Structure 1
Amino acid sequence: MTPAVIRWGGFAGSVATAAGAYLGGSGFVRVPSVNPLTLLSGQRGVLLPICWVLGTVLLTGAWWWGRHVVPSTRWALVTAALWLLPVLPFLPLGSADAYSYACQGYVQHAGGDPYAMGVQEFGCPWLDSVATSWRDSPAPYGPLFLILAGWAVGLAGESLAGVIAGLRVIALAGLVLTAVALPVLARRAGRDPARALWLVLACPLVLVHLVSGAHNDALMIGLIVSGLALAASAGRPASARSSPAAVLLVAGGLVLGLAVAVKATAVVVLPFAVLAAAAPGRPSPVPLRALWRPAVAIAGGALLATAALSLVSGRGFGWVAGLARSGDSVTWGSPSTAVGLSVDFVARLLGGEADAVPVTRALGIVLLAVFLVMLWWRARSGGALPGAGLALAATVLCAPVFHPWYATWPLAVLAATGTRLDGAPSDDRWLLGLCAFAATLTLPAGYNWALYTRIPGALVVTAALIALAVVRVRRRRDRKVFA
């Protein structure tokens, strides 16, 4: 395919997706959860599902094949921006989280504590637009995002549409940060900046969920990429730096602290940022004694940023407690949750009762901790930047809940750094395939297919995990036999 076909084919998909937002996006009044086929047909007949499916296919196809024909960074930026424009005037797509953000911003702006109460308790005027599962839940986001959401409410006043527009401005600011920092990160990792920009900014998940859906993940991603770029720049030889290493390290820590103050997930990147700053010019593996200076600078900057924002927000560190409610959604998208659902289903078939989901979720968190330590230890021998992306991927896969836009977390880093710690050429089709699959999981109004296929999906995911484990064990056994 030629660049022109890719650009305008994807734009046609964006227009079709925007039509889907107009016909059946997530409206200002939340419709009770019903059969998804009813939601797709509605009063618009078959036009809504046709637009949604056509838009998804065209966008995903253009993004997938476009990675082979990106002629320049400028072309990638212009094309991605062109694709984003059609959805900006219409209702949010893929989820109703933007309305939760609006109500949490309302509570913050009105002087309430979003970490101590749900938006329903405080009397948000836009409560009818918020999903019922989030009305009594405290905010699980960091103080920076609440300050910004409160700012959007303060500017828009009583206009919900104005608040959504403000939240989209925040999301677009995160994408601008990504567009600026991603080429820097790609060059530090020896990758093609144009291809990295394309894989991230033109991804359908970005258009549907980060821009149209106004998710705060866009801002977190922009800050993560910027912080990693600063840390990696500090590790370059002094002759190649424009600023002293200490300044870059503290700045990188501050920016990563801002990312944590949007969503706590960003904290998994910090140890790899330390490695990225210390690795250049060091023997392999990097000795632990060489890490203390960058560790102090980066950790100090991150702590300073989060502590300052916690105080400025007026809510202290209450946001940490709010994280406990971020796993309220129970679907097979999270592998640990899928295993728990499968155990419960089998127990019921056998005439018993089980409540395995909390147990398997706890085991998933333990497994994540083990993976993160192993990744960091291996990254000492090279691959600090890919290690950060793989740490985000492990977090997505082991977390107790999965939403489609979570796939953009590892994509944003691994697109610029590759997926191999040893620097060898990497096959990123598994990551792109995950993003393409995730783009099909939601309906325009924000209902997730995983909610309607909970048990069948859980059984499929569990069977796939078992099959993968068997294959890995056999491969390791075969390697030992032929060694």
Structure 2
Amino acid sequence: MTGPGAAPALPRSAAAPRSLTPRAVRYVGLTGAVLLTVAGYLGGARPDIPLGATPVSIWRSPGGPATLTCWLLGTALLVGAWWSLREGAPSSRWAYVTAGLWSLPLLVAPPLGSRDVYSYACQGWAYAHGVDPYAVGVAAAGCPWLETVAPIWRDTAAPYGPVFVLLAALAVKLGGGLTGTIVLLRVVAVAGLLLAALCLPALARAAELPTRRAAWLALAAPLIGVHLVAGAHNDAVMLGLLLCGLLVVIRRPGRPPALLLAGALLGLAVTVKASAVVVVPFAALAAVHGRYSVRALLRDGGWLAGGLLAALAVTSALSGLGFGWVVGLTRSGDSEQWTSPPTAVGFVVDYAGELLGRQPDAVPVARAVALLLLAVLLVTLWWRAWRALRGLDDPRQSVAGPAVARLRVALHGAGLALAAAVVLSPVFHPWYATWPLALLAVAATRTTWFVLPAAVAAFLTLPDGTNLARFTKAPGALAMTALLLTLTLTHLPRGPRPR
């Protein structure tokens, strides 16, 4: 059954490749999830297993070969199964059931791919015991679970907003110990994913894109199961609040009460992880009711901004921590890895300088230039979206452009803004790729350009949290810089062709 609001049907060959039936895809991915869970118990980020020094030392450790074999094979199976249906699952229900089935083994796995959940636990412990986590690191706070935290984060202040610190402290209070705290932090992450899952179909239908594709890309991705479910990363909570806020905006544009609520939800997302703030200007575009004008934008966007600022002020005041979390953001780039394009370019400049007998220390400069470029790019993306939306309106009459086209422009701009924030960030971790993935799944018509990086990112970590980028610094930096140069040269505007 079709209609004006129905999602366009995908070709049968695109939705279910003949080489692998949907049933086979489901159980190949489930096998991969089970193997990842086994790898977690053999050598995951368990409290009693220290962070591995090198992949070679992990291989030589007791059970190391079995751990790495299960991990790599499980990741390959899960990524391959997800990739095979990247143009859309057979149905939305099938996508939800399969994504849930893949998550079941990972729900009972030890933390995988990262030790950040132990940092959350210690930051929550510090706040629960009267210590400001934005003033001191977890080592100085006296966290009893310090040995479980990755060494690089033991002396850094919390870079997360007050809402997440409050959630972590609540998990500590109710958990009664490290294991209980980790379980509750995972429950919080799963709750964020469930909220996102509830919002995805309505967002996809509003943009007239297939819900079965949106659900599959955003929920069945290996990064979701490994890092947001098993790893319990707070990105899940941020995404849930972000998608919920956007859904309220598109359901009730121009309605002050709804826009205040939407702004508050977006503000809560920002107070979990500040990266969500880049979506707000595009949410303001989606909030406009009627024709686009500066007056309409200030009116409807102002209500949205009011809700956001109120959420920031109230949560910062209720936590008693003020805006100290903003200072903590400056320490999130302490880790230097080539997976961040600006950092990779800085590495290459440093290598070239060493060949010439100099020490340029280019990484901080490259990162600063990237942040400046990010600011320019965000303004450019917003301005292009604004002009596109103005162009949809009928200039001769007081008629707004088609609702679907308006929504797609706003959501696509928000997804591109998150993608730019990930690419130009001083540091990149694999789970960062879930940010644009969730939004572009409901806004983009082409998928490969953002699905492929998410698939590659799934292979960047080992089960105990060891990041493979640490051991491929020089070749990785050279490869990343070469890729950037290639993409830049191939996408430069070309002159007019000769007639």
1:103 is matched with which residue? 122
Q: Which moved more, 1:374-383 or 1:129-138?
A: 374-383
Provide the rounded CA distance (Å) in 1 between the counterparts of 2:480 and 2:169: 39
**Aligned counterparts of 1:234 and 1:365: Cα–Cα separation in 2:** 34
The answer to whether structure 1 residue 342 and structure 2 residue 348 are counterparts is yes
Residues 155 and 96 of structure 1: CA distance in aligned 2, closer, same or farther (over 3 Å):
same
CA contact (8 A) 1:3 1:69 kept: no
**Which amino acid is 2:413 matched to?**
G
Question: How far apart, in 2, do the equivalents of 1:401 and 1:339 lie?
Answer: 12
Report the CA distance shift for 1:385/1:467 in structure 2 as closer, same or farther (over 3 A).
same
Q: 2:191 maps to what in 1? A: 173
Which residue of the partner structure matches residue 240 of structure 1?
none
1:135 — aligned with what? 154
Kindly state the Cα deviation for residue 57 of structure 1 after the two structures are TM-superposed.
1.0
Which residue does 2:332 correspond to in 1?
A: 326
Report the Cα offset of residue 3 of structure 1.
Answer: 2.0
Cα shift at 1:40: 3.7
- The alignment covers a number of residue pairs equal to 460
- How far the C-alpha of 1:472 sits from its partner, in A, is 2.2
The structure-2 alpha-carbon separation of the partners of 1:40 and 1:227, relative to structure 1 and needing over 3 Å to count, comes to farther
Runs of 4+ in 1 over 6 A off after TM superposition: none
Give the Cα separation in 2 of the matches to 1:219 and 1:8.
28
Judge conservation of contact 2:88–2:210 (CA < 8 Å) in 1: no
Q: What residue is the counterpart of 2:244 in the other structure?
A: 226
Q: Secondary structure at the match of 2:136?
A: coil
The CA distance in 2 between the partners of 1:45 and 1:287, in whole Å, is 62
Post-superposition shift, 1:8?
1.3
- Name the residue aligned to 2:377: 371
Residue deviations 1:408-435 (CA, integer Å, cap 9, x gap): 00000000111xxxxxxx3210111000
What is residue 250 of structure 1 aligned with on the other side?
A: 260
Partner of 2:471: 452
Counterpart CA distance in 2 for 1:68 and 1:142 is 36
CA-based RMSD = 1.4
Q: Determine helix, strand or coil for the equivalent of 1:46.
A: helix
Q: Which region of structure 1 is more displaced relative to structure 2, 131-140 or 311-320?
A: 311-320
Range 191-200 or range 208-217, more displaced: 191-200
8 Å CA contact 1:96–1:445 kept in 2: the answer is yes
Find the partner of 1:262 among 264, 272, 282.
272
Counterpart-to-counterpart distance in 2, 1:40 and 1:255: 45
Does 1:433 pair with 2:452?
yes
Q: After superposition, where does 1:352-431 map in structure 2 within 5 Å?
A: 352-380=358-386, 381-382=388-389, 383-418=409-444, 426-431=445-450
Offset of residue 147 of structure 1? 0.3
Do the aligned partners of 1:30 and 1:128 also contact (CA within 8 Å) in 2?
no
SS in structure 1 at match of 2:338: coil
CA positional deviation for 1:90:
2.3
Secondary structure of the structure 2 residue equivalent to 1:291: helix
Match of 1:295 among 301, 315, 338: 301
1:32–1:230 Cα change, 3 Å? closer
Q: Tell me the residue number matched to 2:180.
A: 162
Cα distance in 1 between the residues matched to 2:274 and 2:343: 20
Alpha-carbon contact 1:138-1:322 (below 8 Å) kept: yes
In the alignment, which of 182, 191, 200 is matched to residue 209 of structure 2? 191
Q: Secondary structure at the match of 1:197?
A: helix
Identity %, equivalent residues: 53
Query: Is the CA contact (8 Å cut-off) linking 1:30 and 1:130 kept in structure 2?
Result: no
Q: Which deviations, in whole Å up to 9, do the C-alpha atoms of 1:209-258 show, x marking residues without a partner?
A: 011110000000111111111111123xxxxxxxx822221111010001
* TM norm structure 1: 0.93
Superposition deviation, residue 67 in structure 1 = 3.3
Structure 2: segments with no counterpart, 5+ residues: 1-19, 390-408
Structure 1 residue 184: deviation in Å?
Answer: 1.3
Hey, what does 2:494 align to over in structure 1? 477
Counterpart amino acid of residue 249 in structure 1:
L
CA distance in structure 1 between the aligned counterparts of 2:196 and 2:217, rounded to whole angstroms: 12
1:325 to partner: Cα distance: 0.4
CA contact (8 A) 2:115 2:150 kept: yes
Give per-residue Cα distances to partners, 1:91-139, cap 9 Å, x unaligned: 1110100000000010011111000000000110000000111001000
CA shift for structure 1 position 352: 1.2
Residue 464 of structure 1, CA deviation: 1.5
After superposition, the Cα gap between the structure-2 partners of 1:45 and 1:365, relative to the gap in structure 1 and judged at 3 Å, is closer
Question: Of 46, 49, 59, which aligns to 1:27?
Answer: 46
Aligned counterparts of 2:52 and 2:37: Cα–Cα separation in 1: 23
- Rounded Cα–Cα distance in structure 2 between residues aligned with 1:390 and 1:338: 21
For 2:283, the aligned partner's letter is: A
What's the counterpart of residue 318 of structure 2?
312
Gapped runs of 5+ residues in structure 1? 236-243, 419-425
Report the counterpart of residue 421 of structure 1 in structure 2: none
Code of the residue aligned with 1:390 in structure 2: it is: L
CA offsets 1:374-413 (integer angstroms, 9 cap, x no match): 1001111140111000000000001100000000000000
Q: Distance between the aligned counterparts of 2:189 and 2:425, measured in 1? A: 23
The structural deviation recorded for 1:287 is: 2.4
| Partner SS state of residue 50, structure 2 | coil
SS at match of 2:441: helix
- Measure, in 2, the Cα distance between the counterparts of 1:399 and 1:155: 35
Q: Name the residue aligned to 1:239.
A: none
Q: Retained in 1: the 8 A contact 2:43–2:49?
A: no
Q: 2:175, 2:296 → 1: CA distance? A: 50
Per the normalisation by structure 2, the TM-score is 0.90
Deviation, 1:481, is 3.3
Q: 1:150 to 1:482 in 2, by over 3 A?
A: farther
